[in-house]
Amino acid sequence: DIQMTQSPSTLSASVGDRVTITCRASQSISKWVAWYQQRPGKAPNLLISHASTLESGVPSRFSGSGSGTEFTLTINSLQADDSATYHCHQYSSYPFSFGGGTKVEIK
């Protein structure tokens, strides 16, 4: 089974900061990674698929990169509305799996 190790588990940053979240896969998964944003009490919302393809309607300050075993989600110019938990997800092979999540807090 493929394990997704996400870091950090929490981070605190100021409005306008650049934030980077990392996911490492236990084996190579090409670019079969998606990123989700989840606000409290809500279902996850897709931000990025195929490691770097931005979902329609998602602000351009969000970007994804990586391939193989290391992947990053970057938020350029953090906004107050970005306070949420972010999850990476691998869909390379069954059983699919998620990272542990990163809670982003605004200072």
Residues lying near other proteins in the complex (CB under 8 A) are found at 1, 34, 36, 43-46, 49, 55, 87, 89, 91, 94-101
The first and second tokens of residue 27, run together, are 């084996």
CB of 103 to other proteins, least distance (A): 10
Nearer to other proteins, 23 or 78 (CB): 23
What residues have CB less than 8 Å from 70, skipping those under 6 apart? 22, 23, 24, 25
Nearer to other proteins, 17 or 92 (CB): 92
The first and second tokens of residue 8, run together, are 């950090």
- How many residues in total does the chain contain? 107
Nearer to other proteins, 42 or 107 (CB): 42
The first and second tokens of residue 49, run together, are 């698929």
From residue 1, how far is each of 64, 71, 86 by CA, in Å?
Answer: 24, 18, 22
CB of 14 to other proteins, least distance (A): 25
CB of 2 to other proteins, least distance (A): 11
CB of 16 to other proteins, least distance (A): 28
Q: How far, in Å, CA of 1 to CA of 18, rounded?
A: 33
The first and second tokens of residue 55, run together, are 């979902």
Nearer to other proteins, 66 or 97 (CB): 97
